[in-house]
């Protein structure tokens, strides 16, 4: 039996051509590098109050509005109706326009009541509202 030899370039080619795959990988690499440069992280900067010794004696500049789970509203140690929140806030804001309002709400306060009180405060002209919670 004779073995037949194939001579020439046709017989010596035994593999996969990797050039197209390398071109594709290079294109992906360039794409990801370029998109990584332009990607921006979205965040929110929060300024936390610095705690120090002796700051607790400073007079509070905020009007405190307390909302209890029973639906009662208290402003500056006076129980008032929800409809009277706006008038009290307007009176305070007229005398001290730089002061804000701190709303302290119990955990069991219905969200509808909280929103109603916040609306009354906004209608009273105060935009600086901070929140607190009771234990």
Closest CA to 62 of 94, 85, 96, 109: 96
* Structural domain harbouring 72: 61-133
Q: What is the pLDDT of residues 62-110, one digit of tens each?
A: 888 999 888 889 988 889 988 888 998 898 888 888 888 889 888 888 8
pTM, whole model, 2 decimals? 0.53
SS3 per residue for 59-126: CCCCEEEEECCCCCEEECCEEECHHHHHHHHHHHHHHCCCCCEEEEECCCCCHHHHHHHHHHHHHCCC
The sheet with strand 129-133 has its strands ordered as: 78-80, 73-75, 63-67, 101-105, 129-133
Pairing of strands 101-105, 63-67: parallel
Q: How many domains does the chain have?
A: 1
Residue that wins the pLDDT comparison between 32 and 52: 32
Is 119 part of any domain?
yes
Is 74 part of any domain?
yes
Scan for tokens 């405190």, then name that residue: 64
Q: What's the CATH code of the domain at 108?
A: 3.30.420.270
Query: Could you give the CA distance from residue 131 to residue 115 in angstroms, rounded to a whole number?
Result: 12
> Partners of 75 in the beta sheet?
65, 78
Is 11 part of any domain?
no
Instruction: Flag whether pLDDT at 28 surpasses 70.
Output: yes
Is 95 part of any domain?
yes
């Amino acid at each position: 039996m004779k073995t037949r030899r194939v001579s020439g370039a046709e017989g010596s080619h035994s593999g996969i051509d990797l050039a197209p795959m390398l071109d594709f990988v290079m294109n992906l690499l360039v794409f990801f590098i370029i998109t990584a440069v332009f990607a921006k992280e979205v965040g929110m900067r929060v300024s936390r109050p610095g705690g120090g010794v002796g700051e607790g004696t400073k007079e509070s500049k905020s009007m405190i509005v307390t909302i209890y789970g029973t639906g009662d509203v208290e402003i500056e140690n006076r129980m008032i109706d929800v409809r009277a929140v706006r008038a009290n806030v307007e009176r305070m804001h007229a005398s001290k326009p730089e002061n804000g309002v701190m709303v302290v709400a119990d955990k069991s306060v219905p969200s509808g009541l909280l929103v109603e009180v916040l609306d009354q405060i906004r209608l009273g002209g105060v935009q600086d509202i901070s929140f607190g919670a009771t234990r």
